[in-house]
Amino acid sequence: MVTATPALNCRGKLLSLAQPCVMGILNITPDSFSDGGNFLSVAAALQRARAMAGEGAAIIDVGGESTRPGATPVSVQEELDRVLPVIKAIRAELPIIISIDTSKPEVMRAAVEAGAAFINDVYALRAEGALQAAVEINRRYSVPVCLMHMQGMPRTMQQQPHYDNVAGEVRNFLAERVQQCVAAGIPRERLLIDPGFGFGKSLAHNLTLLKHLDMFAGMNLPLLVGLSRKSMIGALLGNEVSERLYGGIALATMAVLKGAVLVRTHDVRATVDAVRIATALRQTEIFPPP
Ligand code: 9MG
């Protein structure tokens, strides 16, 4: 299978997507569902970034606000105080591409000035001023943007998610957001899409999205997925967050077989291996290309 964008230009650093690769998660938050509170000091965060780079992450996603179900929003200043020192420290030491996981325009701008070269927005640039910020950033630098689907907001999104046709609705949402971003001035070759597993979705919705993942891959944009340690694994296996590595690896493998080119994960080393195996299997066309 050939991806629409074999390489993303992240402020001059090329992220090759000819082979699927791994995005390591670095949450600078006290309350993220899996690693909350682990990397609050710059030294601990930097050590974790070093480890993930050494384990084969192609990009590190730095976040300062939890998006887990039920999470409470934080102020712009709080988010800046969490992420900026970490981004600066990683940039000073490691050649790796840094992603900023945020929906806030102020945080996007400041993070890019500090060295981030990729924007991961679970709100798909729908927050007030976010689209404009991403457009302005992209006038100066090439900073790819991942547009993720979410129904509702983190505080309430898992209360009663409802769709008539989850795959079709998520696809239409993403197509619409891509069109709006391109119309506003972000080049299409700087956009990625993500169906947003677990963001306003029941277990049945998540499984249906996984089943139809090749349809998203067929939208001719690089497809990012985040499945690592999520509650859908807990729902299937009846286990705690700390026990979800193997379930996450099974899902990551399936996602790559069905066309994902960037896998967001807490468990970099194991996921890199799984992605490599899935890539080799994919080249055998074990599944028909989308
Ligand atoms: C920040 N974040 C948490 N889960 C995510 C997912 O599934 N995709 C993306 N793009 N970001 C996520």
Summarised one tens digit per residue, pLDDT across range 125-164 is 999 999 999 999 999 999 999 999 999 877 777 778 889 9
- Ligand 1 atom closest to the Cα of residue 101 is 1
Local structure of 263: helix, strand or coil? strand
Total domains in the chain come to 1
Nearest CA to ligand 1 atom 5: 226
230 counts as catalytic = yes
**Gap between the Cα atoms of 222 and 146, Å rounded:** 9
Q: What is the pLDDT of residue 92?
A: 98
Residue 226 lies in a domain: yes
**DSSP codes of every residue in 207-246:** HHHHHTHHHHHTTSS-BEEE-TT-HHHHHHH---GGG-HH
- Say which residue, 159 or 214, is predicted with more confidence: 214
Residues 6+ apart with CB under 8 A from 52: 24, 26, 60, 268
- Say which residue, 217 or 180, is predicted with more confidence: 180
Q: What is the pLDDT of residue 223?
A: 97
What number is the average pLDDT over the span 14-26? Answer: 96
Residue 86 lies in a domain: yes
Question: Does 31 score more than 90 pLDDT?
Answer: no
Q: What is the pLDDT of residue 91?
A: 98
Q: What is the pLDDT of residue 85?
A: 97
Mean pLDDT of the residues in the chain: 93
Question: Does 33 score more than 90 pLDDT?
Answer: no
Q: Say if ligand 1 is within 6 A of residue 101 CB.
A: yes
Q: In the structure, what pLDDT confidence band is assigned to residue 1 with cuts at 50, 70 and 90?
A: very low
- Say which residue, 285 or 23, is predicted with more confidence: 23
Q: Are 240 and 24 in contact (CB under 8 A)?
A: no
Residue 107 lies in a domain: yes
What number is the average pLDDT over the span 59-78? Answer: 91
- Ligand 1 atom closest to the Cα of residue 63 is 1
Report the CATH number that the domain containing residue 55 is assigned in CATH.
3.20.20.20
Question: Does 5 score more than 60 pLDDT?
Answer: no
Question: Does 38 score more than 80 pLDDT?
Answer: no
Residue 10 lies in a domain: no
Ligand 1 pocket test, pick from 62, 194, 209 with the greatest ligand atom count within 8 Å of Cβ, gives 194
What number is the average pLDDT over the span 66-87? Answer: 92
Q: Is the pTM of this model over 0.75?
A: yes
- Say which residue, 218 or 265, is predicted with more confidence: 265
Residue 6 lies in a domain: no
Q: What is the pLDDT of residue 3?
A: 46
Q: What is the pLDDT of residue 289?
A: 59
171 counts as catalytic = no
Residue 1 lies in a domain: no
**Gap between the Cα atoms of 221 and 122, Å rounded:** 17
Instruction: Give me the catalytic one of 48, 230, 244, 282.
Output: 230
Residue 7 lies in a domain: no
Q: What is the pLDDT of residue 290?
A: 56
- Ligand 1 atom closest to the Cα of residue 196 is 7
Number of H helices, E strands in the chain: 10, 10
Q: How far is ligand 1, taken at its centre, from the CA of residue 226, in Å?
A: 5
Residue 12 lies in a domain: no
Q: Are 20 and 255 in contact (CB under 8 A)?
A: no
**Gap between the Cα atoms of 242 and 233, Å rounded:** 11
Question: Does 190 score more than 50 pLDDT?
Answer: yes
What number is the average pLDDT over the span 227-244? Answer: 97
Domain extent for 161: 18-282
Instruction: Give me the catalytic one of 82, 177, 264, 282.
Output: 264
